Amino acid sequence: MGVVVKNLTKTFQSQKTDFAAVRDVSFEVEEGALVALLGPSGSGKSTILRMIAGLEQPDSGEIFLGGENVTRLATQKRGVGFVFQNYALFKQLTVFQNIAFGLQVQGAPRAEIKGRVSELLELLGLKDLGRRYPHQLSGGQRQRVALARALAPRPKVLLLDEPFGAIDAKIRKELREWLRTLHDEMHVTSLFVTHDQEEALEICDHIYVMNQGVIEQGGTPEEIYKRPATEFVANFVGLMNIHDAVVKDGKLSIGPYSFPGNGGNGLAEGDRIRVFFRPQDIYISGASNAYAMHARIVRRSFLGVSIKLEIEAEHGFRFIAIIPEHVFYNEKLAEGAAISYQIEEFHYVNLRAGKGMKKLVFADYEI
């Protein structure tokens, strides 16, 4: 196992109050995997990374790297590489010298240092930049140098704290694709902190979604996106349509849809229910007889390869749908056009029973 975190807790004290940044967190990262800690600012993800690196000490809990308990071990003895958002390069050193720094601290022979640095310059597309200084590089190049410096001593674990946060959107997308390719070549166990859901979904093998110091859900990108375990995950990962309703006369009604309040849905009379469905989980046609439900397109927004539609249906039921661009034009859709539609999948939270999310089975509703 690459990384094992057991019951990790960290509280920061101030004059006014104590703040629990991390609360009894446990998770594992398999050796050779690229895993994300995903969450909003203040969720505790960077604090966890810093504790794994030894830059912060936990109040309680244990950290294992490669099977070794490193909880109280000094940072330099843990065998981790750390990549910061702001690069943290040495301004007075060249690219070559920055990458060589960790190896020099370890006392590696000069020939070994030269070979390893040259290898990384080639691998990271920095071959002709070894003699330049950080101020002579672009943001993307600086972050590659920072990554090369972290990889040079061959760490057991690579820790990346919002590594692309200071880079513009186009370069950030290129770098994350490049990072995934690099990881597939080197297979170094990597833990990646980000608040960018698209980033985590695109490049990581496994994702832990954090909120207010705890892990709300762990799973593959597909599991996190398609089967959110809590309301927070459903809201945070991807765009979501949300509607509130109350179970009345044995039924849960959402616009034209009516779900039975008994059976497998576990609903009781008077329960307040929050229903969720993804904009991508909606079938739409310009033909009135294609699907059972009918509505009108209020507005369209061009997103490039897809089109976002604001739709108004019966009973004042409004929602967002996202469909491929070619479907929009093939179906001859336009603002104001009448459509037929079908929502493929619903999830819900029973606000009385708790935050756990369940699925409303497709066959359970009535039209």
Distance CA 175, CA 173 (A): 5
- Cβ within 8 Å of residue 271, ≥6 positions away: 246, 247, 252, 261, 350, 351, 352, 353
- The pair of structure tokens assigned to 335 is 């603002």
pLDDT at 364: 52
Q: List the 18-29 sheet strands across, edge first.
A: 18-29, 3-13, 60-65, 68-69
Q: Is the pTM of this model over 0.85?
A: yes
- Cβ within 8 Å of residue 262, ≥6 positions away: 250
Structural domains of the chain sorted by starting position, each given as residue range(s) with its CATH number in brackets = 3-229 (3.40.50.300), 236-364 (2.40.50.100)
Q: What is the pLDDT of residues 220-244, one digit of tens each?
A: 999 999 889 999 999 999 899 999 9
User: Residues 312, 321: contact at Cβ < 8 Å?
Assistant: no
- The pair of structure tokens assigned to 212 is 């207010």
Size of the chain, expressed as the number of residues it contains: 367
pLDDT at 355: 61
> How does DSSP assign 158-173, residue by residue?
EEEESTTTTS-HHHHH
Q: What is the pLDDT of residues 250-297, one digit of tens each?
A: 888 898 888 887 655 678 888 899 999 999 999 999 999 999 999 999
Parts of the chain with a pLDDT under 50: 362-363
